[in-house]
Amino acid sequence: MTGVGTAALVDVPEPVPGPGEVRLDVLAVGVCRSDLTVLARGGYPLPFTFGHEVCGRVAALGPGRHPVALGDQVVVHAPHGCGECARCVRGEANYCDRGRSLTAAGLGLGLDGGMAEAVTVDSRKLVAADGLDPVHASVLADAGLTSYHAVAGSLPLLAEPDAVAVVIGVGGLGHLAIKVLDALTGAHVIAVDTRESSLELARAQGVRTAVKLDSAAEAVTTATGGRGADVVFDFAAAPSSVDLAPQLLRVAGDLVVVGSGGGILPVVKPGPLPSGCRIRLPFWGSRDELAEVVALARRGSLPVRTEVFGLAEADRVFALLKAGEITGRAVLDPRRG
């Protein structure tokens, strides 16, 4: 990033790992809508490097002992925390008790990230990913992890034999949430989106019921006999989806708002939300959960739809993502020209 709203490939000094750090040669890095938010808002000292979905190979070790070795292929648990509170110590930097006072949310979100040939990271934040396609592995670090964490928090409601889950927004995260639901639950999944290409992606992920936004209420009524979905996952959180989601939800169901599309939900009694419902706002996931996501990928349970570009194409990819022209997840490969 060279200025607010602009991105360019520039030369910077090769990063040198400090105590407890390693330098990774970046093999692949995913592109996320959070990158668009950073690009639009700025606020970090320039030049600033994007990229929080990172798969790399350990190329150099800083001073100290490390749980990894030279040559290991790894993915990065990218959330940033204080490193001292109980949650950070447990590997839950995504919910750091001091997070509101920190200047960075994570790698590529305040800290220089992985849209580069190399990046330095704390070696304790690495998860082994040998044997996985680096392009697919990179996506696990956010799209896979965030989807897994979102689903895991609602597993009790999804344990019923007739449970129904709605996934609104079948993009980079939503298409992986579908497979996480398949892997962890027996729920009937209904996919909802505004784009036919996204509905086709949902069907490719095994969804039998994939409908446009204006047909969602009818589909949920038919699938549930009118009671509503046990859990609604909103990966868009745009005004239209935020308005729709409460209408699809069962009494005492979970509304899980994952996206940040600007929709506003009034929380009033009485109001649009059904009685007894729980609203969750998951953010990323823990390091242990990332290891669980990688394990699912190793078993072939998390097929990822990607579009791969060279590192120099980052600004073009941002434009495509903003225009809604990426199906699945865009990934940058620094090894490409």
Q: What is the mean pLDDT of the chain?
A: 94
Q: Write out pLDDT tens, residues 157-213.
A: 999 889 999 999 999 999 999 999 999 999 999 999 999 999 999 999 999 999 999
How would residue 335 be classed by pLDDT, with cut points 50, 70 and 90? confident
Percent of the chain with pLDDT over 90: 89
pLDDT attached to residue 3: 55
pLDDT attached to residue 56: 98
CB proximity list for 75: less than 8 A, separation 6 or greater? 54, 55, 126, 127, 129, 137, 138, 140, 141, 290, 294
Q: How far is CA 114 from the centre of its chain?
A: 15
Residue 13 has pLDDT above 70, yes or no: yes
Q: How far is CA 153 from the centre of its chain?
A: 15
How many of the other CB atoms lie within 10 Å of CB of 275?
A: 8
Over residues 227-251, the mean pLDDT reads 97
**First CA to last CA distance, the chain:** 19
**Quick one: tokens of 21?**
């750090």
Q: Return d(Cα 42, Cα 22) in angstroms, integer.
A: 27
pTM: 0.95
Q: Write out pLDDT tens, residues 23-54.
A: 999 999 999 998 888 888 877 888 889 999 99
Residue 286 has pLDDT above 60, yes or no: yes
Going by C-alpha positions, the residue among 113, 82, 134, 149 that lies closest to residue 288 is 149
